[in-house]
Structures are given as structure tokens and as C-alpha cells.
């Protein structure tokens, strides 16, 4: 039953049906009745497992193929006509060559299977931010996840009317061959194609593929920003709510900051924190000349291991109903789920993420895959912002960049101005932990946390950021934070987690000219007495150390940045080259 008469949509779907040859085509209308029918079907085939409905109502477990458990950057491509438009940090192939290769792989790939047509919206349907897409898939798992992560259903076709303005997406599991696995974005055609994967990050096309890789390119054309950022509202005792966005590479505390819980003393004084988004922000200039942000997603696609009552109680609470867990362990005693660091009581009668018997006594590997996930409705989150569905978004006062640095970066510093802020974002990096490939301690640059997600040349992306300054009459101020400074024993000096609100409080005071700062070689730093230490076990001396700038380390940093910038050649915006020169001059003065 077709849900639209839009000829652009019908012609495109008919072409994909002819190519993939499914046995039948089902249109997703977004109704609970239809989704429930699909859940029952997926349980019957073993694609998902229904969990204990008393303890975890509406929750299911899915296991992906053991070769298919994470995003694969090496198989992710940006295919535009000119190689230089993709830039040195993206994999590129000529679009015609890639289309030819993919057509062979898709040919007959859905024989014996059903194709599902998923109309979806990133952002609130009908809002100024909204963008529409259609994903064709042969996976019920994808349908059920997209219904959590995006706004799905008939309303999308109603909004599109006869318009050709939608993002085309084709996904086929095919035979899950890792050697023929491709996640391809064609920014010039507004098309996404993924094949031979069933893992969320590669196949839920609304998230990274559309909302970042394709949308970053749309933002450049249309004068807005699509960013890998959380959106957080901070309500002070006066009842004012001020909003920040933040970009952090993985393992740098992004989800914890997005779902921040104020320290006890702050709570008593009436402080509250509101989560608008944990992963992606679309930013547009509002009529008041400020940047306004929306979270284009409707759910959270979070990493399970390490999520617990202490590390992130809000995230844990969010997963307690209507959630799909992927690659976690199944506790056979009560039909619930478990993962490492959930609690100190691992199940003794369980199936691991591959479906094999597991117990702590006999375990050879982890119960849950280290990248196991939960897909949970954002509305479940205890601190979800009342503005979550506001079609106009929220006004942004500060942009925060962060990384994991043991010695170099201070706890917090503010950029001098917008240009310097773009420079600060462009040099973002994290020292590798044992979990990442490569040398422990080596700095991996991840500008604006967008390296794997920018849909075009990174230097052009920085230029777009620089150009945006012209259209923002009242730009947010830009800051850098580092929760990860360590002492001589390698222990973290700053307690992190809820205590990070103390730093965000200073950031917001700076945005509203409520506090001073001292100028240093790298930017503006807090005066020690301006960060509230009441109720936290951090001395003024320790804080002074956290807010110190080691010139020798920063000279090394500048040299590292120079090496990183080299790969962008003469495309590097001259403003960034000038900022680097100026930093070195100040350090050598």
C-alpha cells in the first residue's frame, strides 16, 4: 500500500525494487500497530529477543553478526565528482565507479526478503530545521531502530507533497561480507547507500550518514552548521536557562555532560540541568542574530558498557523501557540484560553478546561487546528538556570543545574571539587510551570531533565556520575544556562528572559578562577564586595547577598542529595559519 503519489519518490523506489528484487514491499506508516506486528515477526525469526516485560517493558535484545559490531571508517566513503572536494581525511571514489560497484552488489540482494520503505524526518516535522529522508531496507531491526531514533511515518509524505527534496537511502544486509561492506555518501546527489552491514552506526542512515555527513554539506550550501555536539540547558537559581553545545571525541565524557546532574550543593540551591541532545546539533542563525540549535534525533544511540547508576544514572534510567539493546549479555535467570560495569553482580547463567553460554567463572571474553549499544527514546530521559520538541530550537550562549589531555590543556580556557575559537576547535585532539589503536599517549587530532563525519573537505569546513561569523550578529563564545589532567601517578586531578557543572557555570558567567578572566598565551583563563569549590575536595592550589599553562608543552603542541595542518596544503584557511603563527609568537615572547 503506497503512502504517497509523489512521482519523484515512486520512480526512485521502483528503480531500487527493480535492482534489489525483494519478494514484497511494505510501507512504514509509523503506527504502533504496524511496529508491534514487526516486533512479533522479528521475535519469531530470532532477529530480536523479547526481554522481561515486567522489568524492562517494551525492551528487546538484538545480536549483530560478530564481524559487524562497529562503524567502519575504512569502508566509509564520500563520493563527489572531484577528489579534492572530499579532502585528505575522507575515503573517496569517483561516483560513477562507486555506483557501478554498488549496483553489482545490490543486484538481487533482497530476493526472498521484504523491502521496508521508511519515511523519516530529522528534526521536528514541519519545523524550520526539518529535513526529510526515505530509507529502503531489508531489516526489521533497522525499521524498529529508526522509529526510535527519528520521526517516522505518514506525516513525512504529507510534508513532502510533490517535492523531490528528500535524502535517498538504500540499505541491504546482503550476505554481511566484511570485504564488500560499504557505507557511502553521495553529497552531490543527496544519496546514502550502505550494504553488507546490519550494525546501527552503518545502517541507521538518519544518524551519522544523514544528520552529519550529508547535512554538513547541506549546511555549507544553505548557511548553517551540522555538528557532532551535545546540547545542554543549565537552569540557575534565578530560573534562567542558558544553553551550551559541546563537541567531544569518543571517551571524553560527552554523554555524561549531556545528561549532567548538578552536585548536591548546587541541587539544594536550585540548579537544574536539561538535556536537549547527546550527540548531534543543527545550528541556524535566528531572527535575533543568535545561533539556535536543535537535536535532529528523537532517541539516543548510546554505548552500554560503563553506563551505570554512578557514571550516568539518567542514561541508565532512559534504557528501562521501549529500548533495543544490541550485543549486550542476556541474563537467563530473569530474562534481563547485563554489561560490564553495569553493577558488581555479573549473572552466573547468561548468554554473551554472541549468544554463547557465559559466566564470570568460565568467561574467556567479555559478556557484552565493548561497543554494545542501546537505542532508547529521548523522552524516557529523566532530565530531557521541556524544549526538546521546540521547532525553533534553543539559543546557544557557548560552544565548548574538549579532549583528553594528560598535561597540555588546562581545565578550561576561552578563545579570544570567533576566529580564534575556530582555531581552538580545529586543533582539538585526544591522547590515545589503551582502547584505541595506535600508541598510548599519542595525540589523535579530531577537529570539532567531526573527522569521521564531515561530508566534505575539512579545510572547506573550517572556512565555512569562519564565514558563518558574518551572519551571526550575536555569536556564542567559544571555550575548550579538559577534564583529564593527571598527576605524577597518572591519576585524574579533577573529579569530573557532576562537578563539571562548576566549570560550565564559569563559562556561562563569561558569556553574560558576569565574571572576569586573565589573559594568557592560549586564551582567557579563570581567576582561581572565580570557580566555585564549595563542597568539592579540590584545593585552591590544585585548581591553580589545573589552570596553569606550560609554555614548553604548548610549543610542542604548536609544532604538532603545524604537522597536522600540512596535509590540507593551500586549502588551509589563512586565518588558521595566522592564528597558529600568533600562538607561537606569544609562546616565544
What positions carry a catalytic annotation? 252
Pairing of strands 114-122, 131-137: antiparallel
| Cα atoms found within 13 Å of the Cα of residue 381, Cβ hemisphere only | 30
Percent composition of the chain: helix, strand, coil (DSSP 3-state, to 5): 35, 20, 45
Which DSSP category does 235 fall into?
A: E
DSSP-H helix ranges across 355-485: 418-426, 458-468
Residue pair 329/338 in contact (Cβ under 8 Å)? The answer is yes
Round to whole Å and give the CA distance between 314 and 316. Answer: 5
Sequence-distant (6+) residues with CB within 8 A of 557 are: 408, 427
Residue pair 152/28 in contact (Cβ under 8 Å)? The answer is yes
Sequence-distant (6+) residues with CB within 8 A of 117 are: 3, 13, 25, 26, 27, 28, 134, 136
Round to whole Å and give the CA distance between 184 and 170. Answer: 10
* Inter-CA distances, 556 with 40, 96, 410, 436, 485, Å: 58, 44, 15, 22, 17
Round to whole Å and give the CA distance between 27 and 118. Answer: 7
Round to whole Å and give the CA distance between 532 and 520. Answer: 21
- CA 109-141-346 angle, to 5 degrees, is 130
What is the Rg, in whole angstroms, of the alpha carbon atoms belonging to the chain? 24
Closest CA to 303 of 360, 251, 356, 228: 251
3-class SS of residue 122: strand
How many helices and strands in the chain, by DSSP H and E?
17, 30
Please, what's the b/e burial string for 546-576 (b: 16 or more CB within 10 A of its CB; e: otherwise)?
A: bbebeeeebeebbebbeebbeebeeebbebb
Amino acid at each position: 500500500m503506497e503512502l504517497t503519489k509523489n512521482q519523484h519518490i515512486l520512480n526512485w523506489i521502483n528503480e531500487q525494487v527493480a535492482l534489489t528484487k525483494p519478494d514484497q514491499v511494505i510501507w512504514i506508516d509509523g503506527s504502533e500497530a504496524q511496529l508491534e506486528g514487526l516486533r512479533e515477526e522479528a521475535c519469531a525469526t530470532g532477529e530480536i529477543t523479547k526481554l522481561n516485560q515486567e522489568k524492562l517493558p517494551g525492551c528487546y535484545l538484538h545480536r549483530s553478526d560478530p564481524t559487524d559490531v562497529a562503524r567502519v571508517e575504512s569502508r566509509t566513503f564520500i563520493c563527489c565528482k572531484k577528489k579534492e572536494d572530499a579532502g585528505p581525511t575522507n575515503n573517496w571514489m569517483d561516483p560513477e565507479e562507486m555506483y557501478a560497484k554498488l549496483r553489482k552488489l545490490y543486484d538481487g540482494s533482497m530476493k526472498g526478503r521484504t523491502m521496508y520503505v521508511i519515511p523519516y524526518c530529522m528534526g521536528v516535522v514541519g519545523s524550520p530545521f526539518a529535513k526529510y529522508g526515505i530509507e529502503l531496507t531489508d531489516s526489521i531491526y533497522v525499521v524498529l531502530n529508526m522509529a526510535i531514533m527519528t520521526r517516522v511515518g505518514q506525516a513525512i509524505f504529507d510534508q513532502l507533497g510533490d517535492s523531490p527534496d528528500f535524502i535517498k537511502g538504500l540499505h541491504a544486509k546482503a550476505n554481511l561480507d566484511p570485504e564488500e561492506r560499504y557505507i557511502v555518501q553521495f553529497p552531490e546527489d543527496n544519496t546514502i547507500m550502505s550494504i553488507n552491514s546490519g550494525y546501527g552506526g552503518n545502517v541507521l542512515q538518519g544518524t551519522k550518514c544523514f544528520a552529519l555527513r550529508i547535512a554538513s554539506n547541506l549546511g555549507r550550501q544553505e548557511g548553517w552548521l551540522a555538528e557532532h555536539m551535545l546540547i545542554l540547558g543549565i537552569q540557575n537559581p534565578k530560573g534562567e536557562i542558558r544553553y551550551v553545545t559541546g563537541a567531544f571525541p569518543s571517551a571524553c565524557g560527552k554523554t555524561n555532560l549531556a545528561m549532567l546532574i548538578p552536585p548536591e550543593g548546587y541541587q539544594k540551591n536550585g540548579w537544574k540541568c536539561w538535556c536537549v541532545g547527546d550527540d548531534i546539533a543543527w545550528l541556524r542563525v535566528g531572527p535575533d542574530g543568535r545561533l539556535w540549535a536543535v537535536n535532529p534525533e528523537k532517541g539516543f544511540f548510546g554505548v552500554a558498557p560503563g553506563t551505570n547508576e554512578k557514571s550516568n544514572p539518567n542514561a541508565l534510567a532512559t534504557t528501562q523501557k521501549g529500548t533495543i539493546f544490541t550485543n549486550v549479555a542476556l541474563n537467563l535467570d530473569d530474562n534481563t540484560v547485563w554489561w560490564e560495569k553495569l553493577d558488581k553482580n555479573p549473572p552466573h547463567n547468561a548468554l554473551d553478546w554472541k549468544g554463547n553460554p557465559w559466566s564470570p567463572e568460565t568467561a574467556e571474553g567479555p559478556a557484552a561487546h565493548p561497543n554494545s549499544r542501546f537505542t532508547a527514546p529521548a523522552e524516557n530521559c529523566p532530565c530531557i528538556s521541556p524544549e526538546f520538541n521546540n521547532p525553533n530550537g534553543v539559543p546557544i550562549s557557548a560552544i565548548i570543545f574538549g579532549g583528553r589531555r594528560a598535561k597540555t590543556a588546562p581545565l578550561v580556557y576561552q578563545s579570544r574571539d570567533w576566529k580564534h575559537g575556530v582555531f581552538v576547535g580545529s586543533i582539538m585532539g585526544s591522547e590515545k587510551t589503551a582502547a584505541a589503536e595506535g600508541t598510548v599517549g599519542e595525540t589523535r587530532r579530531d577537529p570539532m570531533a567531526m573527522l569521521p563525519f564531515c561530508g566534505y573537505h575539512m579545510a572547506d569546513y573550517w572556512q565555512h565556520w569562519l564565514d558563518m561569523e558574518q551572519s551571526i550578529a550575536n555569536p556564542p563564545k567559544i571555550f575548550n575544556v579538559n577534564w583529564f589532567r593527571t598527576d605524577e601517578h597518572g591519576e585524574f586531578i579533577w573529579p569530573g562528572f557532576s562537578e563539571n557543572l562548576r566549570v560550565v557555570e564559569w563559562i556561562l558567567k563569561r558569556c553574560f559578562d558576569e565574571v572576569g578572566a586573565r589573559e594568557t598565551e592560549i586564551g582567557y583563563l579563570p581567576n582561581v577564586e572565580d570557580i566555585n569549590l564549595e563542597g568539592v575536595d579540590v584545593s585552591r592550589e590544585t585548581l591553580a595547577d589545573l589552570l596553569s599553562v606550560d609554555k614548553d608543552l604548548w610549543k610542542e603542541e604548536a609544532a604538532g598542529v603545524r604537522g597536522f595542518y600540512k596535509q590540507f596544503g593551500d586549502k588551509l584557511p589563512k586565518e588558521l595559519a595566522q592564528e597558529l603563527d600568533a600562538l607561537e609568537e606569544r609562546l616565544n615572547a
